[in-house]
A and B are shown apart, each in its own frame.
Chain A
Amino acid sequence: MLYVVMAYLWASILLYVLMGGADFGAGILEFLSTKKSKEQTRKAMYRAIGPIWEANHMWLIIAIVILFVGFPVIYSTVSIYLHIPLVIMLLGIVARGTAFSFRNYDAVQDKMQTVYSKTFMYSSIITPLFLGIIAGSAVSGRIDPLATHFADAYIFSWLGLFPVTVGIFTVTICGFLAAIFIIGETKTEAERQRFIQKAKHMSLAAIAAALLVLIAAQRDGVPLASWLFGNPISITCVVLAALSLIWMWVSLFRQSTKWLRIIAGAQISLLLVAITYEHYPVLINLKNSDGLSLLIHKGTDKTIHALAVALLAGSVFILPALFYLLYSFNKQEEA
């Protein structure tokens, strides 16, 4: 049952990156759009993510609940040492969620719309930036439970070249996912062209950011290369992701958009597999001591069992409903 719980944790992180990421990316694309095309971007976005946008963010809740029920030591360690980036991320989530729905539901269209839009766009960048920083700090062994100074314990646990570049990389990934996702939802050829263009730009930005991450890893002494190339599974994943990048570029230039979403989804999944496979079963690497392992720092068997049953039972309700939601609104769009 422990493996069921871990699988759900992994899957909810992946789904949050994919679905939540595309959702954040929509705000990033709006930010990057020219003044004239902001309105169009917004419209395409509401059409694409409107019905599912609340659901997209549930994956984060599922992941956090799995952590605090099943792996409480990991949850409380992260909560203590990454307090500051977590608070900033939360403020981003609050600002973004409320601004998005207030913009949609304000009965009067006036200058408040600008306030909502600005809030939405900036928080769409800040939130994934800090999500990336949190992930980067968690895996790179910056957290130091033995630190005695405030700055060492609570600031440099996350403020560093590597986490920040991971944050930037996360932002570019979100923008890229959003562009790919919205291509499939566009109504006109001009709109389609615009988002294909955006997808190209964002994938270049993501590649550039990935290079930054590699350089930062080198400078901060993070053994990123050995995570990615340390074992056959990770190597295979990285190679496949690289190959699919070529496939994606060819498709983008040929404008055959049929497989784009699947390719993009596969790329992100492959990267996550590559990183997590080498780290497994450690979720959090600590400075000067052993990392926090999912196999050791877990709740009692009874808790894990109950949690697994709850997750499995929940899926019986959630997954069909979610698929039906996606399916029926896609069908409506076509009709």
Chain B
Amino acid sequence: MDDFIAARSQMALSLGFHIIFSCIGMIMPFFMAVSHFKWLKTGNIVYRNVTRAWSRGVAIFFATGAVSGTVLSFELGLLWPEFMKHAGPIFGMPFSLEGTAFFIEAIALGFYLYGWNKFNKWFHWFTGVIVGVSGLASGILVVAANAWMNSPAGFDYVNGQYLNIDPIAAMFNDAWFSQALHMILAALTATGFAVAGVHALMILKRKNVLFHTKAFRIAAVFACAGAILQPLSGDISAKDVAKRQPVKLAAMEAHFKTEEKAALILGGIPDEQNDTVHYALKIPGALSFLAHGNFKTPVTGLEAFPKDVRPPVAITHYAFQLMVGLGMLMLLIAVFYFFTLWRKKKWLEKRWLLKLFAAAIPVGFIAVEAGWTVTEVGRQPWIIYGIMRTRDAVTPMPGIVYSFYIFTAVYVSLSVVVVALLYRQVRMVGKLYDVS
């Protein structure tokens, strides 16, 4: 493995690990706050127990997300010093604000975790809400920084010089809104399905059924709301990418020939040598409609771009198809669940419904990873789209491959420990939390 590939792999690994923890750390405080609110309003002790159990989860995920985030803030420089040397002053604004949001989150979490029975109950509840709000703000800001790499703004690039730098314009680049919206809904949906699924599983095992039912209901509603809104945000993103990064869209769709009434390609094996896709299902006109809102508008194909500025087509295409497919699956589950809530309340008790949710535990997070792959791999070969190539940004230090091995070992073992910890938390619910 050469050092450049090692650096990219290490970055991908670190982000792929961090994204899961930050999604949960960003969304779970809201579940916790809703449950806490219900406890304060109804006085039903089960809600208090659920809140306390969830707050432990938040603490574990926050700690893991905080350290993996700290690692990332250094890795940007350790792996991509040339990029940071130029990009730091331009896209650093969201990072400096994120520092504040993250700090506030840490303070609020201190209040919340250690503040049971020590403060006014509504103040205590409010600090939990602040944990969620500042986590969400951090998420939006970090995604805004990533959006800048896709949609560079706030500077003029003249003869290799970065002039007229405007960090505010860089933060509010063209991609920040669509990307941040998509990420937050993804975090909501993925976390919701994962949490709901775990509680569904425990109900199926007939352990602390009342406790897990309350928890399941809160998480499932959030998950399903997210799953229904996400396709709309996906549509905004697709149209946005079509406009800003046509080569990325073309790679996502494995769309090689520029044509009117462009077909939407489902599945298939992209053949990058011969600019074609084998064995694909094609829906004529659908891509034109999805990308530009009109069945006839031409969609630029990969052939319009020289090979050295095209991203790897197969990975981008498969990841995109996987993300959309799983998104559709979650949409169906969500529509079905809301129908159940609306018309068929008795189905809520059915084992098959719970089994459906239990099976969906990893679905949202697989979609998150796939979507992240689309946006990152689809931006290649650029680290700053159209300005700086990833290869030119990498550290001159040789031997990065060893660093990659070390980080892989660390992240794999951390994942194992976190899963084991959560398993123990869930298994001990009867002893620790649900002691009625």
For A90, what are the chain B residues with a Cβ–Cβ distance below 8 Å?
70-71, 74-75
In the complex, are the beta carbons of A302 and B428 less than 8 A apart?
no
| Other-chain residue from A94, A104, A106 in contact with B67 (beta carbon distance below 8 A) | A94
Q: Tell me the nearest residue of chain A to B69, going by C-beta.
A: A61
Flag whether A107 is at the interface (Cβ < 8 A): yes
With A58-B103, A302-B166, A318-B100 as known contacts, state yes or no: A105 contacts B93, CB within 8 Å. Answer: no
Q: A76 touching B84 by the CB < 8 A rule?
A: yes
Please, which residues of chain B bring their CB within 8 A of the CB of A54? 62-63, 66, 106, 109-110
B160 interfacial contact with A, CB 8 Å: no
CB < 8 Å: which of A55, A68, A75 contacts B110?
A: A55
Residues 68-95 of chain A: 1 if any B CB is under 8 Å from the residue's CB, otherwise 0? 1110110111111001001100110110
The residue in chain A whose Cβ has the minimal distance to the Cβ of B168 is A306
- B345 lies within 8 A of chain A by Cβ: no
In the complex, A58→B96 CA distance in Å? 12
A93 to B87, alpha carbons, bound, how many Å? 26
Contacts of B395 in A (CB 8 A): 79-80, 83
Tell me if A325 and B397 are in contact (CB < 8 A): no
Q: Which residues from chain A contact B90 at a C-beta distance below 8 Å?
A: 303
A53 to chain B: closest residue by CB: B110
Q: Are B71 and A93 in contact (CB under 8 A)?
A: yes
Q: Which residues in B have their C-beta under 8 angstroms from that of A50?
A: 110, 114
Which residues in chain B, 359-412, are within 8 Å of chain A measured between CB atoms? 395-399, 403, 406, 410
**B284 contacts the other chain (CB 8 A):** no
B86 at the A interface (CB under 8 A)? yes
Q: Which residue of A lies closest to B105 (CB)?
A: A54
| Cross-interface CB contact of A94 among B71, B165, B425, cutoff 8 Å | B71
Query: Known: A51-B111, A94-B410, A313-B100. Contact between A105 and B428, CB under 8 A?
Result: no
Tell me the nearest residue of chain B to A58, going by C-beta: B103
Once the chains bind, are B110 and A52 in contact (CB under 8 Å)? yes
A76-B82, A93-B70, A154-B397 known; 20 other A-B pairs, CB under 8 Å? A51-B114, A52-B110, A55-B106, A55-B110, A58-B106, A61-B103, A65-B96, A68-B77, A70-B89, A80-B397, A90-B74, A94-B410, A97-B70, A106-B424, A300-B89, A302-B166, A307-B93, A314-B96, A317-B100, A317-B104
Contact A325 B110 (CB under 8 A): yes
- CB within 8 Å of B: which A278-324 residues: 299-300, 302-303, 306-307, 310-311, 313-314, 317-318, 321-322
The answer to the question of A143 belonging to the interface, with a C-beta cut-off of 8 Å to chain B, is no
Q: Which of B34-89 contact A (CB under 8 A)?
A: 56, 59-60, 62-64, 66-71, 73-78, 81-82, 84-89
Per the 8 Å Cβ criterion, residues 24-74 of A in contact with B are 50-52, 54-55, 57-58, 60-62, 64-66, 68-70, 72-73
- Given A76-B85, A87-B403, A98-B64, A65-B103 contact (CB < 8 Å): no
Closest to A66 in B: B96
Q: Are A76 and B410 in contact (CB under 8 A)?
A: no
- B88-A68 in contact (CB<8A): yes
Interface on B for A, CB 8 Å cutoff? 56, 59-60, 62-64, 66-71, 73-78, 81-82, 84-90, 92-93, 95-100, 102-104, 106-111, 113-114, 118-119, 165-168, 395-399, 403, 406, 410, 414, 417, 421, 424-425, 427-428, 431-432
A108 within 8 Å of B (CB atoms): yes
Task: Judge whether A65 and B95 touch: CB under 8 Å.
Answer: yes
Find chain B residues with CB under 8 A from A91 CB.
406, 410
Evaluate contact between B414 and A101: CB separation under 8 angstroms: no
B165, closest chain A residue (CB): A300
Bound-complex Cα distance A29 to B375 (A): 46
Count of chain A to chain B residue pairs whose CB atoms are closer than 8 Å in the complex: 205
User: Are the C-beta atoms of B60 and A105 separated by less than 8 Å?
Assistant: yes
> Per a CB cutoff under 8 Å, which of B67, B84, B119, B425 touches A328?
B119
The CA-CA distance from A6 to B87 in the complex, in Å, is 20
A332 CB-CB contact with B under 8 Å? yes
Asked if residues A299 and B81 are in contact (CB atoms below 8 Å), the reply is no
Cα distance A105–B102 when bound, in Å? 21
Q: How far is the CB of B204 from chain A (nearest CB, A)?
A: 21
Which 10 pairs show the lowest CB-CB distances between chains A and B?
A: A69-B92, A79-B77, A299-B89, A314-B100, A72-B88, A76-B81, A101-B63, A107-B428, A54-B106, A51-B110
A156 at interface, CB cutoff 8 A = no
Question: Do most interface residues of chain A lie in helix, strand or loop, or is the interface mixed?
Answer: helix
> Contact: B103 with A306, CB < 8 Å?
no
Chain A residues with Cβ below 8 Å from B60 are 101-102, 105
Are A58 and B99 interface neighbours, CB within 8 A? yes
Q: List chain A residues, Cβ under 8 A from B77.
A: 68, 75-76, 78-79
Could you list 12 examples of A-B contacts with CB < 8 Å? A51-B110, A51-B113, A69-B88, A76-B77, A80-B397, A98-B64, A101-B63, A302-B166, A302-B167, A303-B93, A303-B167, A306-B167
Residue among A98, A104, A325 with the most chain B CB within 10 A?
Answer: A98
Once bound together, how far apart are the Cα atoms of A150 and B69, in whole Å? 29
Among candidates A69, A79, A105, A332, residue contacting B118 with C-beta atoms closer than 8 Å: A332
Bound: A52/B108 CA distance, A: 10
Residue A122, interface by CB 8 Å: no
Contact of A79 with B81 at beta-carbon distance under 8 Å, contacts A52-B110, A106-B421, A154-B397 already known: yes
Q: A65-B92, A68-B95, A108-B428 are in contact. Are A97 and B67 (CB under 8 A)?
A: yes
> Quick check: is A329 within 8 A (CB to CB) of the other chain?
yes
What is the CA–CA distance of A332 and B98 in the complex, to the nearest angstrom? 31
Nearest-neighbor residue (CB-CB) of A61 within chain B: B99
Residues from chain B with a CB closer than 8 A to the CB of A104 are 59
CB of A277 within 8 Å of the partner chain:
no
The residues of A that contact B397 with a CB separation of less than 8 Å are 80, 83, 153-154
Q: Decide: A61 and B73 in contact? CB cutoff 8 A.
A: yes
Cβ of A227 within 8 Å of any chain B Cβ, yes or no, is no
Task: Knowing A58-B102, A80-B395, A94-B67 are in contact, say whether A108-B88 is a contact too (CB < 8 A).
Answer: no
Interchain CB contact under 8 A, A87 and B107: no
Shortest CB-to-CB span from A101 to chain B, Å, is: 4
- Give chain A residues whose Cβ lies under 8 Å from the Cβ of B88: 68-69, 72, 75-76, 299
Bound CA–CA A105/B113 (angstroms): 11
Residues of B near A229 (CB, < 8 A) are: none
Q: Chain B CB within 10 Å — which of A62, A70, A79 has the most?
A: A79
Cross-interface CB contact of B86 among A72, A310, A314, cutoff 8 Å: A72
User: With a CB–CB cut-off of 8 A, which chain B residues contact A79?
Assistant: 74, 77-78, 81, 84, 395
